[in-house]
Amino acid sequence: MAKEQRGNREREGRSEGLEERIIKIRRCAAVVKGGRRFSFNAMVVVGDRQGRVAWGYGKANEVPPAVEKAAKEAEKSLKQLPKLSLTGETIPHRVVGKYGASKVILVPAGPGTGVKAGPGVRDVLVAAGIHNILTKVHGSTNAINLVKATIDGLKQLRTRDEVAALRGVTL
C-alpha cells in the first residue's frame, strides 16, 4: 500500500487522545429489484499507545458511518480490557496468538529493530505503543482474523512478577 494512502488510515480519536486506525473496509452488495444495493463493513483498531488497544466492527450504507460505528464499538470495548504489561518498548516474552485459522507469533526485539509486521498486525502493535517487535503469521492471512489473533497474543502477556505470583515463588 502506498504511503499516501497509509496516512489517511489513521485519525485521532474523539476521547482521551485515542488513535484509531482503519484496518479493513469491505463492500457488500445485495441484489434487489432495482439493481444492486451496496453496504460497507469497517474494522477499526483503537489504542492509546500506552498499552491499551481494542478493535471494533461496524456496518452501514456509507463508509464514514461504518468507520464511526466501528470506532465507537472499539472505544467501548477498550474500557473493559486490561492494560498490557509492557517493559520498555517491546513485549516481555515470546507469545503466540490464535484466532480461527490465523496464528500470529510475537517475538520481543532489541532497541532499534522497529515493528516488523504486516499491515493488520502492525496497526494493532503501533496502536498499543510497541516500538520493537518481530512477528510471523501462519495460516490464514485474513486481516480481520489477524487483528483478533494479535490482540489474543497481547492478552497472554505476563510480567515476571505475575508469573512468579502464579507459580508461588519469589524473585
CATH of the domain at 105: 3.30.230.10
- Going by C-alpha positions, the residue among 138, 131, 135 that lies closest to residue 88 is 131
Question: 61 is in which domain, residue-wise?
Answer: 3-78
Answer whether residue 8 shows pLDDT above 60.
no
At 4, is the pLDDT very low, low, confident or very high (cuts 50, 70, 90)? Answer: very low
pTM summary value: 0.84
End-to-end CA distance of the chain: 46
Determine, yes or no, domain membership for 161.
yes
Whether residue 158 has pLDDT greater than 90: no
Give pLDDT, residue 137: 96
Give the confidence band of 170 by pLDDT, cuts at 50, 70, 90.
confident
pLDDT given at position 21: 93
Contact between residue 73 and residue 56 where contact means Cβ atoms under 8 Å apart: yes
Q: Are residues 10 and 20 in contact, defined by beta-carbon separation less than 8 angstroms?
A: yes
Asked if residue 151 and residue 107 are part of one domain, the reply reads yes
Q: Which of 4, 38, 7 is nearest to 21 (CA)?
A: 7
* pLDDT, tens digit (0-9, with 9 covering 90-100), for 22-74: 999 999 999 999 999 999 999 999 998 888 899 999 999 999 999 999 999 99
Taking residue 142's Cβ as centre, other Cβ atoms within 10 Å add up to 16
Mean pLDDT throughout 129-141? Answer: 94
Grid cell for residue 168: 508461588
Separation between Cα atoms, residue 161 and residue 171, nearest integer Å: 8
> Could you read off the pLDDT of 64-108 as tens digits, one per residue?
999 999 999 999 988 877 777 676 788 888 999 999 999 999 999
Give the Å distances, CA to CA, from 3 to 7, 9, 10, 67, 74: 6, 10, 12, 20, 25
Question: Does residue 141 register a pLDDT over 50?
Answer: yes
Place of cell 515476571: 160
**Total number of domains constituting the chain:** 2
Amino acid residing at 11:
R
3-state secondary structure of 49: coil
Asked, for residue 83, whether it belongs to a domain, the answer is: no
Do 51 and 100 share a domain, yes or no?
no
Amino acid at 96: V
Q: Verify that 59 and 105 share a domain, yes or no.
A: no
Q: Is residue 50 part of a domain?
A: yes
Q: In the predicted model, is pLDDT for residue 14 greater than 90?
A: no
